[in-house]
Every structure is written in C-alpha cells, then in structure tokens.
Amino acid sequence: MDATAEPGATQITLATAVDWVPGEEVAIAATSFNGREGEKRSIKAIDRSNPDKPVLTLDEPLEFKHFAQI
C-alpha cells in the first residue's frame, strides 16, 4: 500500500499498478504484531486515474489499521 489505511476505511491506495478487476478478492496483510489483523475484502471499484497508484474501493470497511510500506 502507498498510504496507511485507518480502521473504517473503504479505500486503499496501492504502491504499484495491478491488473486486478472489480469482483476479485484481496488479502490485506496484518502490519502490527498481531497476525490476526489480516483481512480479506472484495474489490468494488478501481480508480486508475494514476495508473501507478490505483485506489481500490472495498466492499466492507477495514477493521484494523494497515500501515503503508516504507
């Protein structure tokens, strides 16, 4: 991810282009010391206004904070 996603977020910004399409599922890895904070969501939409940093709209809000890569 290119930007940290807070709990309740329904969008995440990726750090690289992807060939994913709406309807596919994504796994969002835990970024804390609690491995149980990984989450699975379906992609509702993809904004490719910036093709190198697409923004995914998820089907459900995130439950946990997910830190961006450094």
Give me the residue spans of the domains in the chain: 11-58
pLDDT in tens, 9-19: 999 999 999 99
Nearest to 22 by CA among 60, 54, 56, 62: 56
Q: The pTM is what?
A: 0.90
Q: In this predicted model, what pLDDT tens digit does every residue of 13-55 receive, in sequence order?
A: 999 999 999 999 999 999 989 989 999 999 999 999 999 999 9
- β pairing state of 11-13 and 39-47: unpaired
Question: What is the DSSP code string of 30-56?
Answer: --SS-GGG-EEEEEEEEE-SSTTS-EE
Residue 43 confidence (pLDDT) = 98
